[in-house]
Amino acid sequence: MKLREATLGEIVSGDHGLVQTGPFGSHLHQSDYTDEGTPVIMPTNIADGRVVTDAIARVSDQTVDRLSRHKLKPRTIVLPRRGEITKRAFIREEQEGWLCGSGCLKIEVHGTDVLPEFLYYYMDQHEVVRWLEQHAVGSTMLNLSAGIVNEMPVRYPSRDTQAKIAETLTAYDELMENNRRRMELLEESARLLYREWFVRLRFPGHEHARLTHGIPEGWERKPLTEYTSFLKRGITPHYDDDAEGLVINQKCIRDGRLNLNLARHQSREFSPERQVQVGDVLVNSTGEGTLGRIAPVNSPVDNCTVDTHVTIVRPKPGIPIYYFGMAVMAWESRFSTMGRGATNQTELSPSQIGEAPILMPSKTLLDEFESFAEPIFKQVTNLVSQNQKLRSARDLLLPRLMSGEIAV
């Protein structure tokens, strides 16, 4: 396979495209954000190659008109220009007109020489990721500029070959996206039943239940610590890419799920009680943006713990794990506002988490809920496993397709 090489800037220039940073902070103020309106994509909204819309910022139509040069078109690539600079998202048709946020940078190519779909996957290669990291500036936090990104070298085959490569890799991503949507539907069915029975109190037999202090007889409400056997943060890891141990960080916890693809290998020994177990609930406990995010552990993970920015909340033996996970998850939005300390250094302590009052229904009702929830979360676990295998297969295939080692 014959490959041509050019800088991204040369490709963009010959294609009437652009590489452009989002609006400066002086152009987009905190006061511009509204509860409703057009979404603004920030670095925190980029995960797994897509835009995550939970807690996404929004602005009014007037702000969009004022910042119209930052509006996004379909097939645009968006990436953070500071911090996690190797993430990126591919803009879909339904995201047309959204804004590129202050902390991001957009790349538009129109396919004269390089297809945007091909470029999106090209930038996922290890050597390209390393190039961006090595050329970014800053010691505490990596920063990219449009000028740096324009210098990125791109090696590319013919447009027909690019299209075939992108089509092959997209097939994997579409399967993963379908699985993700199935997971969302399954989890939503469990959440709906949880809210119906334990928030609205419309559980089987509720018409005949007597309330005492606002809860049915036989139920109790106590601080979370009363139902936990372990409530502590993790370790300070010794990172080692060749080690067998895994450590979960705050990036791994999002959308109510645990993403072990973002966990890191580490070699430090840790006590058995800090080994992540099925039934544990993990709570992000440091910093703005990720504070309070929660994910249950629904499948075993060998030789795995969490770092000091994550709290392990473990139920006592006999506490139904699926109900427990959802009861703690119900606190996510409140935990996100309970941090103490300076901006970007806010802390959610284990004691604060432990003070959260949790409703514990009757054993009969809990057993009934667990019998409904268990097969749902087992299906979700299977879909997560499928996606991990699909992602691994795609990641092995990607550099071989790009180099021509595997023909398409």
The model's pLDDT over 358-394, given as tens digits with 9 standing for 90+, comes to 999 999 999 999 999 999 999 999 998 899 899 999 9
pLDDT for res 58: 95
Tell me the percentage of the chain whose pLDDT exceeds 70: 99
Q: Are 331 and 337 in contact (CB under 8 A)?
A: no
Copy the structure tokens of residue 318: 């006999």
Residue 11 backbone dihedrals phi, psi, to 5 degrees: -65, -45
**Helix, strand, coil percentages in the chain from 3-state DSSP, rounded to 5:** 40, 25, 35
- Which amino acid type is present at position 243? A
> What pLDDT does residue 141 have?
85
Residue 220 to residue 360: CA distance in whole angstroms: 5
- Backbone φ and ψ for 340, nearest 5 degrees, come out as -120, 140
Per-residue pLDDT tens digits for 150-193: 999 999 999 999 999 999 999 999 999 999 999 999 999 999 99
* Domains along the sequence of the chain with CATH: 4-156 (3.90.220.20), 220-360 (3.90.220.20)
Confidence band, pLDDT 50/70/90 cuts, at residue 24: confident
pLDDT in tens, 300-336: 999 999 999 999 999 999 999 999 999 999 999 999 9
Which whole number is the average pLDDT over 187-207? 95
Choose among 48, 50, 150, 146: nearest CA to 98: 50
**342 close to 284: Cβ distance less than 8 angstroms:** no
For residue 95, the surrounding DSSP H or E stretch is: none
- How high is the pLDDT of residue 213? 86
Identify which of 270, 333, 255, 340 has the alpha carbon closest to the alpha carbon of residue 306.
270
pTM: 0.84
* pLDDT, tens digit, 9 for 90 and up, residues 33-65: 998 999 999 998 998 888 988 779 999 999 999
- Structure tokens, 390: 């699909």
Task: Name the DSSP class of 104.
Answer: E
Chain mean pLDDT for the chain: 93
pLDDT value at residue 343: 60
